[in-house]
Amino acid sequence: MSPGPPHRPPPQGPPADTERVVELLTRPATAAVLVLGEMGMGKSALLDGAAAALGERLEVLRLHGSPALAKVPYSVLAPFLGNAHLAESGSRVEVLRAFWRAVEALRQKAAADLLLVIDDAHELDPASSEVVAELVSARWAKAALAAPSGAALPRPLMELWLDDGVERVDLAPLAVDEVHRYLEAKLGGPVLPTVPLLLWRESGGNPSCSRASSRRPGRRERCAGTGRPGSSPASFRTEERASSPWCGHSSAGSGPTSGRH
């Protein structure tokens, strides 16, 4: 099985969150890690990075929840089941056995533990969630799951929290200094001191909003201080609103911070 697509580094500077997830999943006692964060915080990129980092040690299997299939039993597992009648029979044991046989047939590293990497875990159908929870609870597999903050997870996944081996990682908004480092790395040089603060205020510290805003036409010149004469920070802020659909205009707080908590 392929460890998934190449890692797309989130625009957060040092990948401390990815390293944290990797470190947790390499612990023998960890059964699963749940990554939570608002839209655009880099959850999918973090899963990609963790899967790439662990691909040499674990057998990685990617699953993805979908709102269109959230009410279809075993929809997420369907590509691995082979026989449609298994899903229709309603026998979770038979589905579990069929899924495990398919996984064993696909294994490239016979001795490696299985890692289920599940994006949009809140959109898993309940039947698939039961199978995933049973695999994790029985320690047949580890799992790295991502979901938006505040989203309701399927009950079987929620019940995993009774397991001492389940960890949680919350993605925090970027601090001003992290936005500053990202802009300098992206633009290939120093930026005006006021630019990271303005971008941080507009994006709320959201990495995707920061990235979208930095790609706007004319952004590179103004960030480097070579924009049109007479441009002021106020006009810069008004004209350079982020274009990402989940980027609002609320402030990330009353003032900048030097790091995430």
Calpha distance 154→75 (Å, rounded): 14
Which CATH topology does 16-170 take?
Rossmann fold (3.40.50)
101: its two tokens: 């046989």
Condensed to tens digits (0 to 9), the pLDDT of residues 19-78 reads 999 999 999 999 999 999 888 888 998 999 999 999 889 989 999 999 998 988 888 888
HSE at residue 232, side-chain half, CA atoms within 13 A, is 2
Supply the pLDDT for residue 176. Answer: 84
Lowest-confidence range among 148-152, 156-160, 163-167, 245-249?
Answer: 245-249
Q: Where are the domains of the chain?
A: 16-170, 176-239
Higher pLDDT, 215 or 116: 116
Q: Can you give the pTM of this predicted structure?
A: 0.69
pLDDT band at 249 (very low <50, low <70, confident <90, very high): very low
Query: What is the CA angle 103-106-109, rounded to 5?
Result: 100
239: its two tokens: 């004209």
